[in-house]
Amino acid sequence: MNASPALSRRDFLLSSAAALATAHVPLSAATTGPGLIAEPIIDIHQHTNYGGARDAAFRQISPARTHAQLRTHQLGLGVTKTILLPSGRDAFRPSTINGRSNGLESTITGNEDCLAFVRAFPDEFVFGANEISDLADATTVIEKYLKLGAVLIGEQKFNVECDSAEMQKLYQLAEAYRVPILMHWQIGSYNQGFDRFHTMLKKYSKVNFIGHAQTWWANIDQACDNDPRNLYPRGKLTPGGLTDRYLRDYANMFGDLSAGSGENAFKRDPDHARAFLARHQDKLMFGSDCVDPTANLAVCSGARQLAQVRNFAPNKIAERKMLYENAKQLFRL
């Protein structure tokens, strides 16, 4: 794993303070007065060292967003608590598509970096625990960080079958520690067998699963069955897709609103977005999962999705559920 150089707590705090001093943090988003938070927001999906580039050998070759920039970004969004999702270790095997999903298909760092960040800013950040699903010691590694305070397992973004023996070991671990598991659904790449996942929802009814990414959001549309590899469909859609049904039919299925896939799911059909948010308001949680160092609407999908939730929510009560209360309850924050 291409981890960023370790920072002492003093250096970490100083670098963050310097960035915040020069950053433009939108006052309307973050405060109503000096140091006063307008409304709490939980972001369930962010990453450390996100956005750098790798070469053909998957070595990091360009800078990623720094820790200080990430904190500035979250403050700019008005986020009061952020969940950091680590990568697994680097490995070259079918489950990582021979290295493609190292760093979660980016330069994202792992459990130790997230833990260090949380220890530096314990009031603002919590973290998940992660490892490549089919490594022999995956459950041992994840359990180590669950014992250190991780609040979920994920982001699981590996080329495995969703009902494989290896994944079921992770579901059993999630059940034992009473934490959710967040899964990146992307047909042909990550977490195969979305149409079979109902069997796992039934078998592990005490585990809370969180759906995320392209296949998850494409399947709000019933017509997605006609072209499941269209990961960013456009235009009007028909309610009743597989994602819609999973959220409706299974008490232990939740949705992560983050990333370009989440943003696209709502901007493609605003009328459907309003209805979807209304009927699933108790199951959806805000996440940003964006790589930019600022919270500028022009470049930040997290900021745009935050605006969409506020625009399309049926009322203020539903908005507060999706931006704060659902995550607070699910992660026991």
pLDDT of residue 225: 67
Distance CA 74, CA 221 (A): 31
Distance CA 287, CA 262 (A): 9
The predicted-structure confidence for 110-168, as pLDDT tens digits, reads as follows 999 999 999 999 999 999 999 999 999 999 999 999 999 999 999 999 999 999 999 99
pLDDT of residue 54: 87
Question: 72, 76, 62, 53: which is closest to 15 by C-alpha?
Answer: 72
pLDDT of residue 34: 41
**Is the CB of residue 2 less than 8 Å from the CB of residue 48?**
no
Delimit the domains of the chain by residue range: 41-331
The predicted-structure confidence for 211-246, as pLDDT tens digits, reads as follows 999 999 999 999 886 677 788 989 999 999 999 999
Taking the model in full, what pTM does it have?
0.89
Instruction: Look at residue 260 and tell me whether its pLDDT is greater than 50.
Output: yes
Residue with tokens 């309003």: 274
Question: 66, 78, 91: which is closest to 36 by C-alpha?
Answer: 78
Which of 3.90.1150.10, 2.40.37.10, 3.20.20.140, 1.10.3720.10 would CATH assign to domain 41-331?
3.20.20.140
Residues β-bridged to residue 161: 192
In whole numbers, what is the pLDDT of the chain averaged over residues?
Answer: 89
Tokens for 81?
Answer: 């608590």
The 10 Å Cβ neighbour count of residue 187 is 20
The mean pLDDT of 265-282, rounded to a whole number, is 97
pLDDT of residue 166: 98
Pick from 35-39, 98-102, 174-178, 226-230: least confident: 35-39
Which residues neighbour 294 within 8 Å (Cβ) at sequence distance 6 or greater?
Answer: 23, 24, 72, 73, 76, 300
